[in-house]
A and B are shown apart, each in its own frame.
Chain A
Amino acid sequence: MTAALALGDDALVLSHRLGEWAGHAPVLEEEVALANIALDLLGQARTLLSLAGDEDELAYLREERAFRNLQLVEQPNGDFAHTIARQLYFSTYQRLLYGQLAAREGEFAALAAKAVKEVAYHQDHAEQWTLRLGDGTAESRERMQRACDALWRFTGEMFQPVEGLDVDRESLRSAWLESVTAVIKRATLDVPDTADSGAWSAGAGRQGLHTEAFGRMLAEMQHLHRSHPGASW
């Protein structure tokens, strides 16, 4: 069940990060949009984790080393540009991935068919903001470029093999690169030229090796649940 855990953890962790924006967004419409995306992802996480076991046990009682999410999705929100760059990279990946999974038989087909519609909206939202920020003011352009650069090194991990995930990784990678490159260029930004799969980050999250901020995120997420063992909510 590694694949259900990996995909479920991606959605769970990114949903949590987006939930941290509630009450802090730059404009009311984004309060609605970010919460909406977070909810879609949480719904996906619940379906996927339920394929692997009990959703709450998996979310609240696993240690950091047992989580299988990408390091990309656990990255702290940073400024709005940082959140948007993370969203652009991940939603483009998710849309292509679910597009492939929806087209073939298997345990993920039904979930992917539903999720791909949600993810199309997420990707559009991220692309529109990448364009606005990249091609907005000098300040927003600089912030968007910095965000794209900073997160680039976490993108290689998306194309590492995952046990039980039957996808064409080469076409996933080339389609992702083509799509993201086109948006970054339209946003008048430079495509990052740093390595996208450094030795440490490639495949690390999928193996339970995470970045330091992740443990703190889990401490907050799990604290209440762990304080009342056996309770139901």
Chain B
Amino acid sequence: MTAVTAGTAAASTRQARFDAAVAADERIEPRDWMPDDYRASLIRQMAQHAHSEIIGMQPEANWITRAPSLRRKAILMAKVQDEAGHGLYLYSATETLGASRDELLDKLHSGRQKYSSIFNYPTLTWADVGAIGWLVDGAAITNQVPLCRCSYGPYARAMVRVCKEESFHQRQGYELLLALSRGTPAQHEMAQDAVDRWWWPSLMMFGPPDDASAHSAQSMAWKIKRHSNDELRQRFVDICVPQAEALGLTLPDPDLRWNEERGHHDFGAIDWDEFRQVLKGNGPCNEQRIRQRRRAHEEGSWVREAAAAYAAKASGASGAPHGTTEPHGSGTESDEAQVEATA
């Protein structure tokens, strides 16, 4: 047997072991062998999930200083804090694949990695905070609950923690909208306007339709994804319709109706052109979101340098202790399908 064929045989054994583990619903862990494409695909999805948490702080933080009661202000602050925490878990989980947080942030800042399209929409009124909680967090949970069974262990475990907190936020968002809907006519109108503006962008969070989704088939084969985009989107619509009724609010879709035969709600066509424009950077807030993130990072650089210099002094001047991890896996290209299943 030549060295080459021995190597090939070993590689196919590793691949077979990986395939068997995935087939048996076992978890892949950081030290396990995994195909390079699986690693790269997870880094892309998890990083973009982390980025979405971080960018997603902005539209809501926009209302912290204007929250109309101290109770609501406390709830909103806690939520934005949780999002920063989710970003931290997810960056940590991504680091188990050999990527460093610094490198991932750099890719976010330079536009080489994306975040969920939804956060490129502006929060124009207080009711938007409720609509984000109810619809955006609701869509995120619908996407993320199946990720709790994802084949990669660290990601699945991060999702268990994230989903618990997200469910709590979603209930609070719903309750905020309910208070507005049952409040004064002006408050009711504010709530309806917010739902009108956030409904379709929330449906877009599930990604392109199944026949146009570049990564879906592979992600499902690897058991990273468990359900198709359209399947999850349908599930979300079916959940939202009775909730909207209970809220006393309407959903802005004249084609939305119960289909007895399918046992699901039919709904109108999504404006995929708008979706593509937002992903290409032409949404209402794309530029602003990235600019703020970059500015926070740049203006904070002297603080991070100070912390590193102080830590180096404290540990006996043994040189800079951070930022030395080599990236693993291939660079990631921009692709609208990348933001699937992240929010």
Give every chain B residue within 8 A of A223 (Cβ-Cβ): 66
Question: In this assembly, does A221 line the interface, its C-beta being within 8 Å of a C-beta of chain B?
Answer: yes
Q: Does B213 contact A (CB under 8 A)?
A: no
> Inside 8 A of A80's CB, which chain B residues have their CB?
300, 303
Min distance, Cβ B113 to any Cβ of chain A, angstroms:
16
User: Does A132 make an interface contact (CB < 8 A)?
Assistant: yes
Asked if A46 and B74 make an inter-chain contact with CB atoms under 8 angstroms apart, the answer reads yes
Interface size on A, residues (CB 8 A): 49
Q: Is B296 touching A59 in the complex (CB atoms < 8 A)? A: no
Query: Does B10 make an interface contact (CB < 8 A)?
Result: no
- The yes or no answer to B306 lying at the interface (CB within 8 A) is yes
- CA A27 – CA B74 in complex, angstroms? 22
Shortest Cβ distance from residue A149 to the other chain B in the assembled complex, whole angstroms: 18
Specify which of A12, A23, A29, A225 is in contact with B57 (CB 8 Å cutoff).
A23
Known: A26-B296, A28-B88, A136-B309. A38 touches B77 (CB 8 A): yes
Q: When the two chains form their complex, are residues A42 and B77 in contact, meaning their CB atoms are under 8 A apart?
A: yes
Once the chains bind, are A29 and B88 in contact (CB under 8 Å)?
A: yes
CB pair B187–A137 under 8 Å, yes or no, is: no
A22 in contact (CB, < 8 A): yes
Please pick, from B81, B297, B305, the residue contacting A137 in the complex, using a CB distance under 8 A: B305
List the interface of chain B (C-beta within 8 A of A).
Answer: 54, 57-58, 61, 64-74, 77-78, 80-81, 84-85, 87-88, 91, 126, 176, 179-180, 183-184, 186-187, 292, 295-297, 299-307, 309-311, 313
Tell me the total A-B contact number using a CB cutoff of 8 A: 141
A26–B304 contact, CB under 8 A?
A: yes
B303 adjacent to A233 (CB under 8 Å): no
Instruction: Determine the distance from Cα of A140 to Cα of B292 in the docked complex, in whole angstroms.
Output: 22
**Partner of B296 from A24, A55, A137, A140 at Cβ < 8 Å:** A24
8 CB-based A-B contacts, threshold 8 Å: A19-B73, A26-B304, A30-B303, A136-B309, A139-B306, A220-B65, A224-B126, A228-B187
In the assembly, what is the distance between CA of A232 and CA of B74, in Å? 16
Are A137 and B78 touching (Cβ within 8 A)?
no
Interface residues of A (CB under 8 A from B): 12, 16, 19-20, 22-32, 35-36, 38-39, 42-43, 45-46, 49, 55-56, 59-60, 79-80, 131-133, 135-137, 139-140, 143, 220-221, 223-225, 228, 230-233
Q: Is the interface of B mostly helix, strand, loop or mixed?
A: helix
B81 partner, pick from A26, A35, A131, A133, beta carbons under 8 A: A35
Interface residue from B57, B72, B295, B305 paired with A233 (Cβ < 8 Å) = B72
**Given contacts A31-B57, A220-B65, A224-B68, A22 and B310 within 8 Å (CB-CB):** no
- Find B306's partner among A12, A30, A133, A232 (CB 8 Å cutoff): A133
Chain A: which residue is nearest B66 at the CB level? A224
A136 in contact with B307 given A35-B84, A56-B70, A233-B179 (CB within 8 Å): yes
Q: Which of A22, A46, A136, A140 is the one whose CB lies under 8 Å from B70?
A: A46
Chain A residues with Cβ below 8 Å from B91 are 28
State the Cβ distance, A109 to closest chain B Cβ, in Å.
Answer: 23
Q: Which of A26, A31, A220 contacts B299 (CB 8 A)?
A: A26
